[in-house]
Amino acid sequence: MASIYDLKPAFQRLLRPLVARLVRAGVTPNQVTFGALLLSAAVGAVVAWTRARWSLLLLPPALFARMALNAVDGMMAREHAMKTRLGSLLNELGDVVSDALLYLPLALVPGWPAVAVVCAVVLAGASELAGVAAVQAGASRRYDGPMGKSDRAAVFGALGLALGLGAPAGRWLDVVLWIVVALLALTIGNRVRKAVREGEPAMASAPGAASTPPTVTPARGDGASLR
């Protein structure tokens, strides 16, 4: 299913010169990952503390910067032989934690439907878990849409821009966020279904596979770009 994640190759080409400069400067992928996490925490804290309309204008640039940093750390790891097991774990955990830090404070902003925001954050984490769990089922790390990380960033960035510029919150906002929740549920289903389909041949051909799942370590950075 189509997703903004499909734009990943073009985005990476734009960032490749920056990646090379960071590597020459001695920056590590884990430092970039922590930078993205701190950015999310800082912006989320401003939104939660002020609960002001103007703070929503921080979402679009913060989300774009986070997408860029997530792409950069993965490219550094893959293309410059800087992969580590710790980096792989930080990459996956950082995405889920960053989502929560950025989006949960929106439940405190007047006019935002708190229940829908919380449901979206919970299902966003579940969708990333489904993508990672696919590896244990003998499949590749799944990034299927229609509401992957980059799609969520586009939606919340657009909402932040519109409301930050003065658009009145109303019933339409509830509708949009519940649609996001529904699409996240569909994303989880797509990732599980395609992981099962992809992993079936490998599981069937492996002796004892039914009782012992394959131990496959996802390469750090495979999903560190748009997702």
Residue percentage of the chain with pLDDT more than 90: 76
* Rg of the chain, C-alpha, whole Å: 18
- Give residue 196's pLDDT: 94
**CA–CA separation, 137 and 127 (whole Å):** 15
Instruction: Indicate the pTM of the whole model.
Output: 0.84
Token representation of residue 134: 């696919």
Per-residue pLDDT at 12: 83
Residue 226: what pLDDT? 47
Look up the CATH number of domain 8-204.
1.20.120.1760
pLDDT digits (tens, 9 = 90+) for 161-216: 999 999 999 999 999 999 999 999 999 999 999 999 987 766 566 555 545 555 55
Provide the 3-class DSSP secondary structure of residue 104.
Answer: helix
